[in-house]
Structure 1
Amino acid sequence: MLDRNDVIPLYKQLQETLKKQIQSGERKPREKIPSEINLAKEFDVSIITARKAVNLLAEEGFVEKKQGKGTFVAAQKYTRNLSDVISFSEVCRLNGTVAGSQLLESKFIEADKKALDRLERPEGEMVLYIERLRFVDNEPIVIEKNIFSIAYSFLINEDLDNNSMFDILKRRSGTEVARSSRTIEICRATQQEAQLLKITKGSPLLLIKSIAYSTENKPVFIGTQIINGERYQFTM
């Protein structure tokens, strides 16, 4: 319980108590926490004290307030440094999580001139389109769509479920992705994207478009990543 004789204000004590419950796992991610009225009753404090404690938790990112629904324990955000060119699998390893993937589509297609120019390939050449759903600890986070030049056609016969594309490229062709150019936008989830990512249609998503280059400065693939921004954060 809270100590009324402590020099630390009651709202700070309550904030720390709730924070410890979240950090220990006593309160789970996405779990709804009691209303400010109920917190005030439970800890025998004023509603204003309870509100200040919850607001501080929200500022620190431990809880999220949802209009008309209440306050919930915030889900863990996964961090990626955009300055580094590393695979999704390696990003997960650095975050202490397990990467996964599910192949959605793999096929040869006719690419438009813009895509072929980016891949530095001649007009009319076929390309390999690969779409995967990426998971973090079994939770869908990213829809990944990549277009490869025909030089990487061997990928169509590879097992792309739960395996790193970067590792396969290096093993099969000696290709290492050394850098990439990226643009980042905000988009809204379509019905299909919402179903795959288990979110609501129209939810805000991060859209990253990129071109990956090898150590020889040759284009390896054109990539599009559609990311659940609520679970991902980027650093530079």
Structure 2
Amino acid sequence: MAAPLYRRIAQQIKEEIQSGIWKEGEAIPTEMHLSERYEASRVTVRQAIKGLVEEGLLEKVQGSGTYVKEQKIEHNIFELLSFTEEMRSLNKEPVNKILHFELKEADDQVKRMLKLSDGEKVFYVRRQRLVDDVPYVVEDTYLPVSMFPNLSYGIMTGSKYDYIEKEVGMKIKDSFQEVIPVLPSPDIAEALTVETSMPILKIQSYSVFSDGTIFEYSENHFKSDEYKFTLRASRP
């Protein structure tokens, strides 16, 4: 039994989106144009479009038209995955570009977050995290030198969590995060290739080993047009 016409039209539109004929952010043709193209009534075309809107492939903008929806990376805030792990789960290969790598004395904020004593040193690393040459995140990480004396520039071009768990041999348990919408500083805006007037999402976090030891403090700046954050809340 043949599928209803509106579903066949929806499937054709979906295939054109997936093949890149209709690109993300672009307006699709009008209902009248599509009804002529597919030799179908506007009611049938409207039904096909409605299904694709519900599926998340298209979005309607009041007073403007219907557009191919830009697909943001969906980050589940309750899953503790590294950026590398998250991107690879989506069949994307990330690249870490080191913008700063230095040994320094912890300032008051970092000392407080990592529970360090006066005079203790940390590695400060700023990484620009890219996929397909597009910067998604700028990460500032502080790691105690006493815990990671062999940390190197080369290690930080890869997965930090892989290094900690596989080479250092420590088990990561939890990350405690605070999400803050902010306007980027000029250097962060430049690294994310956005305007300073464009809001971004900043996550301040500290992470702990299974024995409760705090081993990392990070500030991650996420490009808000590439990322969305989701969580699942259950009613008791």
State whether TM-score is above 0.5: yes
Per-residue CA shift, 1:101-122, capped at 9, x if unaligned? 1111111233332321221211
Unaligned 5+ segments in structure 2 are: none
Q: Does 1:165 align with 2:160?
A: yes
Residue number in structure 2 paired with 1:155: 151
Per-residue CA shift, 1:27-47, capped at 9, x if unaligned? 233444335565466456787
Percent identity over the alignment is 27
Kindly indicate whether the alpha-carbon contact (under 8 Å) linking 2:184 and 2:198 is maintained by their aligned counterparts in 1: yes
Residue number in structure 1 paired with 2:211: 216
Worse-superposed segment, 222-231 or 166-175: 166-175
Could you tell me how far 1:225 is from its partner in structure 2? 1.1
- Give distance in 2, aligned partners of 1:129 and 1:8: 59
**TM-score w.r.t. structure 2 length?**
0.77
Residue number in structure 1 paired with 2:169: 174
1:119-198 matched pairs, under 5 angstroms:
119-151=114-146, 152-161=148-157, 163-198=158-193
- Give distance in 1, aligned partners of 2:64 and 2:184: 21
Residue number in structure 2 paired with 1:112: 107
Q: Matched residue pairs, number? A: 229
Residue number in structure 2 paired with 1:3: none
Kindly indicate whether the alpha-carbon contact (under 8 Å) linking 1:177 and 1:220 is maintained by their aligned counterparts in 2: no
**TM-score w.r.t. structure 1 length?**
0.77
Tell me: CA distance 1:218–1:28, structure 2 relative to 1, closer, same or farther (3 Å): same
- Give distance in 1, aligned partners of 2:166 and 2:83: 17
Q: Does 1:204 align with 2:202?
A: no
Residue number in structure 2 paired with 1:18: 13
Letter in 2 for 1:124: G
- Give distance in 2, aligned partners of 1:65 and 1:173: 50
Kindly indicate whether the alpha-carbon contact (under 8 Å) linking 2:5 and 2:44 is maintained by their aligned counterparts in 1: no
Tell me: CA distance 1:144–1:66, structure 2 relative to 1, closer, same or farther (3 Å): farther
Worse-superposed segment, 89-98 or 34-43: 34-43
Kindly indicate whether the alpha-carbon contact (under 8 Å) linking 1:108 and 1:126 is maintained by their aligned counterparts in 2: yes
- Give distance in 2, aligned partners of 1:41 and 1:188: 46
